[in-house]
Amino acid sequence: MNGLLDRIFGLPKQQRTMILGVVIVVLLALSYVFVYSARAARIADLSEQIKNVTAERDKKKALAANLPKLKQQLQQLDGMLKEALAQLPDRKEIPDLLSSISTKARESGLEILVFRPRAETPKDFYAEIPVDITVKGGFHNVVAFFDEVGKLTRLVNINNIEFKNPKLSGDQMIMEASTLATTFRFLGEAERAKLVATKGAKK
């Protein structure tokens, strides 16, 4: 090693300068390959991780900022769902609903002549349940009955009202009133699936 150095130092100044330059270039190249490039790859990897974590953090911050608004919207949707469920009962509540309608007729002072539910008519997500109703009593009693039915929480449509056989009894007009009352109920998931399958088979 000392002999090599002695020979180098014995060379002319220009040659010594060239050799020193080559050594410096080689050292820089080795430093780049073994130190800088490895660290550069590590830095690039860490930069990508930081970018992903920052994006996820900003996403979470945005969600957190909107949390009160989302909670309020969820409460509103829950309220709307409860209102819809209150108007459209499920199958097990239908007998109670029909009983309520007949009770309203008696409470209004009417005699029930006909109270006959028809077959259900399924729609997309609900079923119509028509009921033939014929009552007998005073005109004002009939009007009061229809008004009470309209005030029910459950949705009931009164259609095709027909008055017949009017008779004067004292100072009150007694008559028969016939109507088609239609109430509705939600179809269960199995019922909706069956309905879709039936429609598909028909097509």
pLDDT at position 32:
53
For residue 175, what are its two tokens?
């008559």
For residue 48, what are its two tokens?
């990508």
109, 158: one domain: yes
Percent of the chain residues past pLDDT 70, beyond the cut: 70
77, 153: one domain: no
What is the spatial distance between Cα 116 and Cα 88, in angstroms, rounded to a whole number? 20
Report the number of distinct structural domains present in the chain.
2
Given 87, 113, 129, which residue is the final one in a domain? 87
- pLDDT (average), residues 97-114: 91
In this structure, is residue 200 part of a structural domain? no
The tally of CA atoms less than 13 A away on the side-chain side of residue 191 is 14
187, 97: one domain: yes
76, 15: one domain: yes
What is the spatial distance between Cα 181 and Cα 176, in angstroms, rounded to a whole number? 15
What is the spatial distance between Cα 87 and Cα 95, in angstroms, rounded to a whole number? 15
27, 41: one domain: yes
pLDDT at position 121:
87
Contacts of 190 (CB under 8 A, 6+ apart): none
Given 87, 116, 140, which residue is the final one in a domain? 87
Q: What is the CATH number of the domain that holds 109?
A: 3.30.70.60
140, 50: one domain: no
**Residue corresponding to tokens 């050292």:** 27
More confident residue, 40 or 7: 7
pLDDT band at 19 (very low <50, low <70, confident <90, very high): low
- pLDDT (average), residues 46-64: 77
